[in-house]
Amino acid sequence: MVRRLAPIAAALSLVACSAPRADGSATPNPDASASSAPPAATSPPSTADQLARADACAAAALAVNPNDPRLKQMSTVVTGCMSVYTEQSCKDGLAAAIAEKTPDDQRIVVMSKGCGDAYCPRLMDEPRPKYCTLPDSTEPTERAKFFTELRNRILELELGEEGRARVDAAFKKAKEDQARAGQ
């Protein structure tokens, strides 16, 4: 059962959503952002936009039907959470992870690589996520084990503390619901 939950747990614990924003605006152009600037030492309060993106992602996590096939469950979360991320290569990695052609055992590797490549340069403050400090020679499957910490830092960067807390609470509830459903 743990192997069956792994891809869904990965999606629920890492993903951040691709639905249009609640205010109807488009996701910002990542080329226009100052992606090389490190984040502030402490996160400012979440903005209304950040909270709207967090709520959309949380709703996607809670909308997962445990009776659906695993890929459909993962796609629900990834698609619903894509707007959380502003870095295009992370979005590309998330989209590739839910592509039918991607082998199940490679989905978390594809997601972590896309998001790690996009966000590690932005997460320079200490302590850096372990994912970002691993040698380049680290095997992708080994590197993927450290994705949860990276994902947490990305969510805080993109959503602020309150937004991250909302997403975390929804993911936790979704995992609990799946466990109760025996999935």
Q: What is the pLDDT of residues 135-175, one digit of tens each?
A: 988 888 888 889 989 999 999 999 999 999 999 999 999 98
Note the pLDDT of residue 179: 87
**Phi-psi domain of 182 (left: phi exceeds 0; alpha: psi -120 through 50; beta: other):** left
Mean pLDDT value across the chain: 80
Q: Measured in whole angstroms, how far is the alpha carbon of residue 135 from the centre of its chain? A: 22
DSSP state of 87: -
What is the average pLDDT across 115-131?
93
Phi and psi (nearest 5°) for 60?
-65, -40
> Domain limits of the chain?
2-17+47-180
Residue 34 is encoded by which pair of tokens? Answer: 């100052």
Binned at pLDDT 50, 70 and 90, residue 182 comes out as: confident
Cβ atoms of 182 and 4 closer than 8 Å: no
pTM summary value:
0.73
Amino acid at 51: L
- Choose between 159 and 13: higher pLDDT: 159
Cβ atoms of 169 and 155 closer than 8 Å: no
Note the pLDDT of residue 139: 87
Residue with tokens 């990965």: 10
Q: What is the pLDDT of residues 22-44, one digit of tens each?
A: 333 333 333 333 333 344 345 56
